[in-house]
Structures are given as C-alpha cells and as structure tokens.
A and B are shown apart, each in its own frame.
Chain A
C-alpha cells in the first residue's frame, strides 16, 4: 500500500503494530525466563 494519504499512513501503522504484536507473542513463547516471557506478553 502506498502512503499517499493520512488514512493510508495510519492504516499502515496499525498493520505494523499488529505485526509487532505477533512478533512479541512469538518471542514470549520462545522465552524460557518467566520475567522475559511476561515482558514480551505485555509488549504484545
């Protein structure tokens, strides 16, 4: 998607946040240290 409008830019940002949330959840599942797990879950 090209970011020609403010709406496109915000939509893109929301999607980027969604993907970041997925990333943090994946890291939380990999983490063995409970504190680290908790931190990634709260970031997600």
Chain B
C-alpha cells in the first residue's frame, strides 16, 4: 500500500464515520422527540443503535489500518503489512441459521486487504431456512490491489445470490460448487493474464439434514473435530480460483452434528513465523481445537489466538489472519 493510498483509505473511512455519526444523531434526536408517536420513537431509537454499531465497526477499521500498515517501508519502499495481535479483535458479523453458533474474524482489517468472510442464510421460496452458506476467500498477495479484487469478488457473489433468490431459481443454484465455479469464472475473466488468484473455501451447513457440504479451491484445508475428539482435515482440494475459467468445481458432503466443530482459517495463521522463523503450523491449530472442543466458539477462537500469540512471542504478523469456527447449538 502506498502512503497516498493509505491516506485516501483513511479519508474514506473518516467520511463514512462522519456519515454514520450524522445518521446516529438524526435517529437519536427523533427517538427523544416527545412530539413523535411512541412506536415511531422506538423505531428511531433502534435505528440509532444500529448506526452506533456501524460507527464503532468503522472506527475499529480506521484504527486497524492506522496500526496495521504503518510499519517500516518494505522492499518496494511502501508501508507493508505489519501488526501485533490486538487484545480485543473486532469480530465479523455473521448471518446464521438459528441452530448454528459461530464466530469469525479477519485481522488486521475487515474491509481492507485480500481476505473476506461472507455469510448468508439460504431460504426456499416459502422463506424456510435451508441452511447457512459461509465463504472464506484469500486473494493472493499483499498489495492494495487485493482490496480491489476482494471487493469485486464480494460483489460478484452478493449479486449472484440476490439474483438466484429473487428470480425464484432452485436453491441448489446456491450450493458451494455453484458459488465457487461462478467466482472462478468471474475472476479468471476479469483479471485474465494478470496472475490474480484466490483461494476459496465455501461451505453450506444444512442443520435440518445435519450435513455440511463444501467446495475448496486451493484453500488451506479446514479442520473438522468429530465426536471422537480428533481433528481431521477436510481434503479434496481443487484448483485455485482464477486460473482456468471453465473449471467445474465439485462439492463434498458429510455429517455435521452437535458434537462436531468446524474450523476454517487462512494461511496467515498457519504460516505465522516467530523470531526463530518457525511457523505456527496446522498442528498448533488442531491441538487447540481438540483440547477446547467443549467450549463455545468464542472460547475456542480465543484459544487459537492465544496459542498464536504465544507462538509469535511479540513478533508482528506479516499476513492477514482469518478464522471461522462453527458449532451446532445444543438441543
């Protein structure tokens, strides 16, 4: 990221914080106005609280970018990504089915950089919950170009899901293989010849059927801890997205029950190096998942992050770190 780009990003975020603050003030004042009917005042107060949350998310983003990209100039003379793990990371808001509990985060920033976490509850034509779609992708590279590609990918997926949902198409069109195939086509076409690639992991949790169905395009394989307490990798990794526009991805299904834990993460955790240049490794993650399997998603993610912090021993991270942890709620 160049200094100019960094300044512009901070400026955009400042403007967004001001807009959110103005909206907050508008709703808040309306909510306090005795001349407005009580029900409307209640709605305005609720909207003010929504804006308060948005504003806080943006303030957290601003701080993360200020801290995350202010390191010593890298090889190209531009500020490079270098950050220490925050004590209170901002979690990514998720849209989930009622029976799922999950926690997700991307560090240092949720809106800037190449990693993205996307969630959506899939509903049939009658509005019934048919499952939760979760997507984690990682744009290769660390330049600001990754933010642009990330935005393009998020838009492509969002538009596709809206199109399928609104046009009354079969919800099978929203399965992981369809989403990854679409993303691959869009990236390969848009960035042909530019060497732009994404690792993508897409999973659909069907809590009614008790299954998870996934497609992995070159992404770090997630772990599933089953009732035996042992973590195993979800393999069947396929071609990284953006290389072959006509590649047709497959999907794989397996049972997912109340005793199971699913955890997908980016290579930024696996490859995090300490001062001795030792990586955290997959073993570091699986051990914590197995040891903390009875905890809440918050407990387990906190365990993984604490393990990572111990491993780093104060050395800054040089890559984005993303993680999603999912469990079924108890009966």
Contacts and interface: CB of A to CB of B under 8 A. Distances in A.
Interface of A: 1, 11, 14-15, 18-19, 21-22, 25-26, 28-29, 37-38, 41
B243 interface: yes
A41 B243 contact: no
Interface residues of B, number: 15
A6 B272 CA distance: 34
Given A26-B233, A29-B232, A11 B283 contact: no
Contacts of B232: 29
Interface of B: 218, 221, 232-233, 235-240, 243-244, 281-283
Contacts of B221: 22, 25
B237 A18 contact: yes
A18 B236 contact: no
Majority secondary structure, A binding face = helix
Contacts of A19: 237
Contacts of A21: 237
Task: Report the 10 A-B pairs with minimum CB-CB distance, sorted nearest first.
Answer: A22-B235, A15-B239, A22-B237, A11-B244, A25-B233, A18-B237, A11-B243, A18-B218, A26-B235, A29-B232
A33 B289 CA distance: 21
Contacts of B281: 41
B269 to A, nearest CB: 14
Of the candidates B240, B244, B281, the one having the most CB atoms from chain A within 10 angstroms of its own CB is B244
Contacts of A11: 239, 243-244
Contacts of A15: 238-239
A29 B237 contact: no
Contacts, number: 34
Contacts of A26: 233, 235
Given A11-B244, A37-B283, A41-B282, A18 B238 contact: yes
A15 B240 CA distance: 8
Nearest to B270: A41
Contacts of A14: 239-240, 243
Given A18-B240, A29-B233, 16 more contacts: A1-B244, A14-B239, A14-B240, A14-B243, A15-B238, A18-B218, A18-B237, A18-B239, A19-B237, A22-B235, A22-B236, A22-B237, A28-B282, A37-B283, A38-B283, A41-B282
Contacts of B218: 18
B272 to A, nearest CB: 15
13 contacts: A1-B244, A11-B239, A11-B244, A15-B239, A18-B239, A18-B240, A22-B235, A22-B236, A25-B221, A25-B233, A25-B235, A25-B282, A26-B233
B261 to A, nearest CB: 16
A11 B218 CA distance: 12
A25 B233 CA distance: 8
Of the candidates A18, A28, A38, the one having the most CB atoms from chain B within 10 angstroms of its own CB is A18
A16 to B, nearest CB: 10
A21 B240 CA distance: 13
Given A14-B243, A18-B218, A22-B221, A41 B283 contact: yes
